[in-house]
Structure 1
Amino acid sequence: MSYDEFYIKSVIRSLPDWPEPGVMFRDITPIFKDPKALRMVADAFIQRYMDSELTHIACIDARGFLIASIMAYQMQKPLVLVRKKGKLPGETVHQEYQLEYGTSAVEMQVDAVGPGDKVLVFDDLIATGGTILAACTLIKRLGAEVIESAALVDLPDLQGSIRIQETGIPVFTMLAYEGL
């Protein structure tokens, strides 16, 4: 890979006790203010997937949109959106998933992907894996195949990557942060 993990980690901001006490939040938004870091991240993902069999990139609301749109543009692949419930016009399918305290839901438009499509699911971060697993469920329900899930950051202590892999979906992340 053509990226400097230490440089990218130096750009990501760690915010203790946000959004609640005891949580160490990994804020990737400074990457978007640093053209060097953004290029490293985008180029690394593009290089990984340029020669793959993927036909579509599904990105998850909202920071996942930012990097995945660069990838889709450079790779000339369709970009499909996985959004929070109620944000997409037209006919949609939705999937609920568990949060630490309650549930949430994501949805896709019914014509986003279909049989024969090979989809990469992209998000900014994998914590418990619930959002990516919900997105994968929607993609499969629409008849497409998930070839891999990818994210910039993995929080392995929350075991989301393991949960995703246990369903047979490969996982790729650029960075991992141990500890909560």
Structure 2
Amino acid sequence: MSAYKDKDPRINGIKTTIRVVPDFPKPGIMFQDITPLFLEPKAFKDSVDIFIERYQGKNISVVAGIEARGFIFGPSIALAIGAKFVPLRKPKKLPGEVISEEYILEYGRDCLEMHVGAVEPGERALVVDDLIATGGTLCAAMNLLERVGAEVVECACVIELPDLKGRERLNGKPLYVLVEAH
């Protein structure tokens, strides 16, 4: 599912702000840079508003944002829908007791951590990040949440790289994206 397939008129303004940076962070990667989106208040607001409109009234109690760009969208969505925001961070960034999940991404390995007790069994969760490529990061986030008994309702990303088939790794979990990039 996606806003661009629904022909939301705001999508073109969002898409035009995304910059492609070749060979970053290493040769062969066509990095999708969303930082120019933040320089365009209308497009930035539209992107957050589309997510809020989708998740309002869906009984979501947790918005889990993936470090770092999921932190930009997640808190606004959480506040607007009346949910708590839970940061999913890189190793050794959260004080206190954490649970961890290692994963493989398109150019290396990484790990996500979440505070123990941040999410309760039975809570309904939304996972937010800027982009889905191979799906490794979203899978790690879902695994963390499901290990503590949460129900992951959906994953939401600004950009999808469909050629990398990350959606197929989500084990049938719904994915909602604003923009498709090639």
| TM-score, normalising length: structure 1 | 0.93
Kindly provide the amino acid, as one letter, of the partner of residue 180 in structure 2. A
Is 1:119 paired with 2:136? no
> In the aligned structure 1, how far is the partner of 2:33 from the partner of 2:109?
23
Match of 1:71 in 2: 77
Q: Which has the higher contact order (CA 8 A, sep 6+)?
A: 2
> In the aligned structure 2, how far is the partner of 1:3 from the partner of 1:30?
19
Kindly provide the amino acid, as one letter, of the partner of residue 132 in structure 1. L
Kindly provide the amino acid, as one letter, of the partner of residue 177 in structure 1. A
> In the aligned structure 1, how far is the partner of 2:15 from the partner of 2:172?
29
The structure-2 alpha-carbon separation of the partners of 1:9 and 1:71, relative to structure 1 and needing over 3 Å to count, comes to same
Query: How far apart are residue 101 of structure 1 and its match?
Result: 5.0
Out of 140, 149, 154, the residue aligned to residue 148 of structure 1 is 154
Match of 2:53 in 1: 47
Query: How far apart are residue 7 of structure 1 and its match?
Result: 1.3
> In the aligned structure 2, how far is the partner of 1:4 from the partner of 1:123?
19
Is 1:105 paired with 2:111? yes
User: Which stretches in structure 1 are left out of the alignment for 5+ residues?
Assistant: none
| TM-score, normalising length: structure 2 | 0.92
Equivalenced residues, count = 176
**Matched position secondary structure for 1:173:** strand
> In the aligned structure 2, how far is the partner of 1:50 from the partner of 1:86?
33
Match of 2:89 in 1: 83
RMSD value over aligned CA atoms?
A: 1.3
Query: How far apart are residue 22 of structure 1 and its match?
Result: 2.0
Match of 1:11 in 2: 17
Kindly provide the amino acid, as one letter, of the partner of residue 139 in structure 2. L
Out of 126, 142, 145, the residue aligned to residue 139 of structure 1 is 145
Does the CA-based 8 Å contact 1:3-1:41 persist in structure 2? no
Query: How far apart are residue 102 of structure 1 and its match?
Result: 4.2
CA offset digits 1:132-167 (Å, max 9, x no partner): 100110101111110111101000111111211xx1
> In the aligned structure 2, how far is the partner of 1:99 from the partner of 1:48?
28
User: Which stretches in structure 2 are left out of the alignment for 5+ residues?
Assistant: none
Match of 2:176 in 1: 172
Out of 95, 99, 120, the residue aligned to residue 101 of structure 2 is 95
Identical columns (%): 46
Kindly provide the amino acid, as one letter, of the partner of residue 98 in structure 2. T
Does the CA-based 8 Å contact 2:125-2:152 persist in structure 1? yes
Kindly provide the amino acid, as one letter, of the partner of residue 94 in structure 1. S
> In the aligned structure 1, how far is the partner of 2:152 from the partner of 2:143?
9
Out of 139, 152, 163, the residue aligned to residue 169 of structure 2 is 163
The structure-2 alpha-carbon separation of the partners of 1:84 and 1:142, relative to structure 1 and needing over 3 Å to count, comes to same
